[in-house]
Structure 1
Amino acid sequence: MAEPPPWADGLPHAALREIVRRVPCAVDRGSMAGACRSWRARLADLPPPPPPLPWLVLPSGGSTRFYCALSGCVHHYETNAPPHGARFFGSHEGAWLFLAFNQNTDHELVNLRADRTFLIPDKYRLQQDGPLAAAHDDMVILAAALSSPPDQGKCVGACIISRWPANVPTLRRFAFWHVEFGGDADAYDLMPDPDPTPPHLQVEDVLCYQGAFYFLTQGEHIRRCEPVHDAGGDLEVLSDVWFFQREGRNYDGLVVQARYLVVSRDELLMVVRLTCGANKPAAAFRVFRALRPVQDVEEVADEDGEDNQVAEADDQGEEIEYPWSWGELDTLGGQMLFVGRGCSRSYKTAEYPGFEDGIYFLDDRSFYDDHCVCERQYPCSNNGRWTQGPPPNIELYFPEQGPSDHSPPAWLLLYNRPYAKALPLDMVREISRHIICDTERVRTLRVCCLVLSDPGARAIQPQLPWLLAASTDGPLLYCLNCGSGGNGTTHTTGAPMYVHTAYHYGAYDGRWLFSTLENGDSVMVNLLTGSRQRLPIEITYRQSGLSYPQKILAATLSAAPDSCRACIGAAIVRYVHPSVKPILTSHFGKVGRETATQIALFRLGDEIAVDPLSAINSPIFVEADDITFYNGSLHCITPDGQFVLDNVDHWKHFRLKYELDGRQPLPDDKTPGCHYLVESRGELLVVVRYYSGAKTARETETFRVFRMIIPEFHVNMGDHDFCICTHQPSLDGRMLFVGRGCSRSYELAQYPEFKDGIYFVDDQSFYDEHIMCHGGNERVYPCSDTGRWIQGPPPNLESFLPGQGSSKTSSPVWILP
């Protein structure tokens, strides 16, 4: 291996220690460790980074991104992307994110690192209702908090809710639920109905502290609710109200925009956010701590003899109606406060060199606006930091951010765990390298506060593709690294909601997914980052000036979409030309077809693709089976030939000639079903798939693999040149994953627990015009013919989805790492 650069060991240890101390972000330290082996070894001996600060979850037009305050609000990729299109309403330590997939329904608690999900009720009932009573009403959750980590027993959730539909303005109520039974039960609301609660007791924020939930109200009082479980395990809540000093606090003419509760140094603090007017940006903050000046407590009974509220007595025994008070803090006293409903947290400034006391805030102006949830216009520009001192003392983050149509910003609370001391760091890294699955490896690394970007923790072999299969509950990802197909581990997609109902027709490296949405738009979606790229929905002939709607059946790219190289897209498309009769030749096309497949080229961002094969106003239908970029050229295979496009103006058609070893012709004992192109070991392979059974109910029977010998390309070649395809008697230690536009080859030597074979998906709908080009009610995609073929005597086919029925949204596809 190369020697470390001379400056790596020359830096004094004290200087390196001081540099590292000023790089508090664990992700940035992982990048720093990648500079060289010397730094990586020396960093392992230095103190661990401080506890992570919350990440800002900021939705935008095409994606939802994370921004790290420790890195100067740099965008990080070190976790799964949250589902773009969902509404976020809080967080809990450990990268748990509260969200509503459909704005007003489908509330869930999702872990963005550990790949776990808990359902949250969409309905609530009054506490006095019996367990068999019907749920009282639908609810929309606006904020939530947990009593403990959700994967621990007897975890209780508390939430601030609004009724749905909100036909008239309603008070903010609160409810509780069992987290482990969230999907099978309703939440319980403590308030009686009709609700007599005065507006000054309407809740604004919720916080869990020492096993009890504290709700801050508009009148700056606190409802304390302690969840308990009876002998039968049923949830009960003991509640009382802490009344603070009378209303009418003077905020120097400013308007209260929000109030938050946060625990700091074992004290309850109230943070008041002030503004110059309704819907105006934050102008100032004031911080108060809860004070209880007297000690003697007496219970006061109302006229009915029932306990009504807690009053206290001073030294003379006189009642004080509001025994609690708020004492304003002159300074933050070495604290950084991150405020957000249900998830406010306090951090010691001294642990973060280069930082100063301040309040970090989000744009949550939509909390009191019912129209935001209905009309989906959430302001997102008023996020930032407030510091004590003379103006200007507010620094905004991303002030140019426009409103979102699905969610306000949110905090993501991360892990706060010390480094593991039982194992040496190098041993932990070595263990993680032997865990094939990225998702499982991340779980291991998080135990020791390592990050995936740490070069010493990367896996010893490349990732294998994931299998994406549609289901009634949304797409499921089957991880082949963790098991075989449908018997393996499923991972959550972190995909936007619109992906759940989309048709998927391919993938590209880096977890890019090609999809057609319900509205007909074709897009590329990244399941890691949530980024989205539009694809053309029309096609034109070269220089014709006319364009026609198209349906993309398969697609691929010449390079990664975010690489510095020019990225060209290619697709197999189907459409009906409205006025020109297709030109059908003996090389390609089927006489009598109203529609047929064509090749389309495009650049990312283009609205119209170009047909490179056709003359002006003369479409040529090629009946393509597969496409791929190989050695800088686009290759397209048909049942009897291959097109090679050197560029848009130069293309060539070769006839395919299949041979056994020794130039013997291939026996005509089977009829090919479809063809795939796979680049492997620097060569281009043709994988031929054979079916058994009738066309409407056929299943995969076997495969044959051929090595393609492509003649040297030049423009003046004849029209009848042959491309020789030599049969390969074995896979020679390879695993081939075949899918149109996304076939890949992997070396078996890197995966000792696997066998060489061909992994395939059910893509029979590719040839069915009634599925691909007609209305949604007619779209029934077969999915069960998905699995693995191994060379040898039958049975040599393993089905991954044997019980999978047809899907109304999409065929299965591979997701490439």
Structure 2
Amino acid sequence: MARSRRARREWSDGLPPELLGVVLLHLPCLADRVCFAAVCPAWRSAARGLAPPRQLPWLLLPSPDATSFFTPQSGATRRLYLPGSVRGTRFCGSHNGGWVAAAADAWGGYAAVNLLSGARVPLPNRIRVVHPFKIRGTSPCEHPMLLRMVTFSAAPTSADCLAAAHISSACNIAFWRPGMDAHWLAYRHQTGVIEDIIYRKSEVKQGFHVLTNTEDLLVYAASSDQNAPLEMTCVRYRFEKRVDYNHNQSGFSVSRYLVESRGKLLMVLREYSVGRGVGRCTWVFRIFEMVLEILPHVQGTKASWVELRDLHGRALFLGRGCSMAFEVSQFTGLQEGVIYYLDDTSFDISLVLSSGGKFSSSDMGVYAMAMRKIRLIRGEARRFPHEFTSECSPPVWLLH
């Protein structure tokens, strides 16, 4: 046994550094490089000498006992050892740097947790509702809330972080920033049905962009500095209705996502059917780009959604509050016009409230814009998991 260990050590130490560098260039996935560096000091030194490659999102497959993650760059699924505070929790949001939003139970135990470092930032369990027309002598009221999805403007440990939550409560959207330990701030704005929320700096306004089921856009921005109580303002952009805009025109149900790419805002339409006994099934994706025209004579804007026929050198990863676009030229093995998507077209509140229920994800996969088909991609995008069932949480993207 000692002889075999010595032989392996002599073999690994004897490889020239330039050959180790060639091997590393064929390992674009960070998880693979970690395994490479664990072989011996020489390999660890070679790995340390190269800048870490940019990472695509990892697909997190939660489980109370054995959480795993899938890496599109390597096509492999591996175990991930989670901090004890989030094992068995429901994940409901992601942010760059390994952050996720977690819910320990239906009505509380909310926190932002970094799965890579173990850092944890508690989030409030209640909302404080502010009426748009405050009556003198009245005070804001507080309510419990059920957290559906959270998106952050920056790392939750950052002093300038803001968070927006899509909730089920007296309101449907609430806001938080560090220091607000008792509650989220919620307004009774008539926003319609919320489809998606992202934070971006647009050509007109910086803030949380909220897409509704009527394909209109609301932008919420903080109107106070960090030393004053949080207040939010809201601007609404009404869009010219598309010629083919109709909820039931295609016979499919529709779900919508927001994605920022190349300084533009994209709306992704996901059309799916719901059959008896077979669950949801996605059939097609359509991409639209926001066009905003400034009207100086009337001091206003004119907004419209213009359809794109392809992604022009990009790939998309779709997820509520955390969708991202990537340039395929910057990643090895990433295919142009590919869309990775999760089973998140609807939110099953009964499943969240029940105990012992199972989150089933049978409608997630890979879509090719050029072929207008699901999963008919070379290697099926390296065997992306198509079905998953968990007792604690649906899959989410782990962003780097």
Please give the TM-score of this superposition, normalised by the length of structure 1: 0.42
- Pair 1:406-2:382 in alignment: no
Instruction: Give the one of 272, 276, 293 matched to 1:275.
Output: 272
Question: Is residue 66–residue 79 contact of structure 2 (8 Å, CA) maintained in 1?
Answer: no
Counterparts of 1:212 and 1:69, CA distance in 2 = 31
Counterparts of 2:13 and 2:115, CA distance in 1 = 38
1:678-711: CA deviations, max 9, x gaps? xxxxxxxxxxxxxxxxxxxxxxxxxxxxxxxxxx
Instruction: Give the one of 30, 54, 63 matched to 1:26.
Output: 30
Equivalent position SS for 1:115: coil
What is the deviation of 1:208?
0.7
1:659-689: CA deviations, max 9, x gaps? xxxxxxxxxxxxxxxxxxxxxxxxxxxxxxx
Counterparts of 2:138 and 2:109, CA distance in 1 = 22
Q: 2:199 maps to what in 1? A: 208
Q: 2:291 maps to what in 1? A: 291
- Pair 1:173-2:172 in alignment: yes
- Pair 1:243-2:203 in alignment: no
Counterparts of 2:236 and 2:270, CA distance in 1 = 23
Equivalent position SS for 1:331: coil
- 1:792-803 to 2 correspondences below 5 Å: none
Q: 1:302 maps to what in 2? A: none
CA spacing shift, 1:18–1:290, aligned 2, 3 Å: farther
Counterparts of 1:82 and 1:351, CA distance in 2 = 35
Question: Is residue 53–residue 413 contact of structure 1 (8 Å, CA) maintained in 2?
Answer: yes
1:133-181: CA deviations, max 9, x gaps? 36342211111111222212132211111128xxxxxxx7111122x22
Q: 2:307 maps to what in 1? A: 328
Counterparts of 1:206 and 1:101, CA distance in 2 = 22
Q: 1:67 maps to what in 2? A: 70
Question: Is residue 212–residue 225 contact of structure 1 (8 Å, CA) maintained in 2?
Answer: yes
What is the deviation of 1:218?
0.6
What is the deviation of 1:284?
1.8
One-letter code aligned to 2:260? V
Q: 1:445 maps to what in 2? A: none
Instruction: Give the one of 378, 381, 384 matched to 2:365.
Output: 384
- 1:702-713 to 2 correspondences below 5 Å: none
Equivalent position SS for 2:312: coil
Instruction: Give the one of 188, 193, 196 matched to 1:191.
Output: 188
Counterparts of 1:297 and 1:271, CA distance in 2 = 32
Counterparts of 2:25 and 2:327, CA distance in 1 = 15
Equivalent position SS for 1:281: strand
Counterparts of 1:42 and 1:95, CA distance in 2 = 25
One-letter code aligned to 1:243? R
Counterparts of 1:22 and 1:132, CA distance in 2 = 64
1:711-755: CA deviations, max 9, x gaps? xxxxxxxxxxxxxxxxxxxxxxxxxxxxxxxxxxxxxxxxxxxxx
What is the deviation of 1:100?
1.0
Q: 2:256 maps to what in 1? A: 259
CA RMSD of aligned residues (A): 3.1
Question: Is residue 337–residue 344 contact of structure 1 (8 Å, CA) maintained in 2?
Answer: yes
CA spacing shift, 1:66–1:295, aligned 2, 3 Å: same
CA spacing shift, 1:85–1:76, aligned 2, 3 Å: closer
**Structure 2 unmatched runs, 5+:** 1-5
One-letter code aligned to 1:389? A
CA spacing shift, 1:73–1:221, aligned 2, 3 Å: farther
- Pair 1:227-2:227 in alignment: no
1:318-351: CA deviations, max 9, x gaps? xxxxx21111222212222211111112222122
- Pair 1:133-2:133 in alignment: no
What is the deviation of 1:383?
2.5
CA spacing shift, 1:26–1:63, aligned 2, 3 Å: closer
- Pair 1:117-2:112 in alignment: no
**Structure 1 unmatched runs, 5+:** 165-171, 300-310, 313-322, 415-817
One-letter code aligned to 1:49? P
Q: 2:350 maps to what in 1? A: 371
- Pair 1:361-2:341 in alignment: yes
Counterparts of 1:106 and 1:82, CA distance in 2 = 10
1:496-521: CA deviations, max 9, x gaps? xxxxxxxxxxxxxxxxxxxxxxxxxx
Question: Is residue 88–residue 98 contact of structure 1 (8 Å, CA) maintained in 2?
Answer: yes
Q: 1:346 maps to what in 2? A: 325
- 1:459-498 to 2 correspondences below 5 Å: none
One-letter code aligned to 1:286? R
Counterparts of 1:84 and 1:209, CA distance in 2 = 31
Question: Is residue 67–residue 81 contact of structure 2 (8 Å, CA) maintained in 1?
Answer: no
CA spacing shift, 1:38–1:118, aligned 2, 3 Å: closer
Question: Is residue 206–residue 213 contact of structure 1 (8 Å, CA) maintained in 2?
Answer: yes
Whose Rg is larger? Answer: 1
Instruction: Give the one of 150, 156, 159 matched to 1:153.
Output: 159
Instruction: Give the one of 218, 242, 254 matched to 2:213.
Output: 218
CA spacing shift, 1:413–1:297, aligned 2, 3 Å: farther
Counterparts of 2:230 and 2:126, CA distance in 1 = 16
Counterparts of 1:150 and 1:372, CA distance in 2 = 28
CA spacing shift, 1:29–1:137, aligned 2, 3 Å: same
Counterparts of 2:240 and 2:294, CA distance in 1 = 13
1:515-559: CA deviations, max 9, x gaps? xxxxxxxxxxxxxxxxxxxxxxxxxxxxxxxxxxxxxxxxxxxxx
Question: Is residue 58–residue 380 contact of structure 1 (8 Å, CA) maintained in 2?
Answer: no
CA spacing shift, 1:58–1:132, aligned 2, 3 Å: farther
What is the deviation of 1:293?
4.1
Equivalent position SS for 2:118: coil
CA spacing shift, 1:40–1:113, aligned 2, 3 Å: closer
The size of the alignment, in residue pairs, is: 373
What is the deviation of 1:294?
5.2
Question: Is residue 107–residue 121 contact of structure 1 (8 Å, CA) maintained in 2?
Answer: yes
Question: Is residue 177–residue 187 contact of structure 1 (8 Å, CA) maintained in 2?
Answer: yes
Counterparts of 1:227 and 1:181, CA distance in 2 = 15
Counterparts of 1:372 and 1:100, CA distance in 2 = 14
What is the deviation of 1:217?
0.8
Counterparts of 2:12 and 2:394, CA distance in 1 = 49
CA spacing shift, 1:27–1:399, aligned 2, 3 Å: closer
CA spacing shift, 1:225–1:243, aligned 2, 3 Å: same
Identical residues among aligned pairs (%): 29
1:230-279: CA deviations, max 9, x gaps? 58511111211111122652697252442111111111111121213364
What is the deviation of 1:52?
1.9
What is the deviation of 1:187?
1.5
One-letter code aligned to 1:413? L
Counterparts of 1:61 and 1:163, CA distance in 2 = 27
> Which protein has greater RCO, CA pairs closer than 8 Å, 6+ apart?
2
- 1:407-556 to 2 correspondences below 5 Å: 407-414=393-400
What is the deviation of 1:188?
1.8
Counterparts of 1:54 and 1:80, CA distance in 2 = 19
Q: 2:3 maps to what in 1? A: none
What is the deviation of 1:121?
2.0
Equivalent position SS for 1:289: strand
What is the deviation of 1:35?
4.0
CA spacing shift, 1:78–1:354, aligned 2, 3 Å: farther
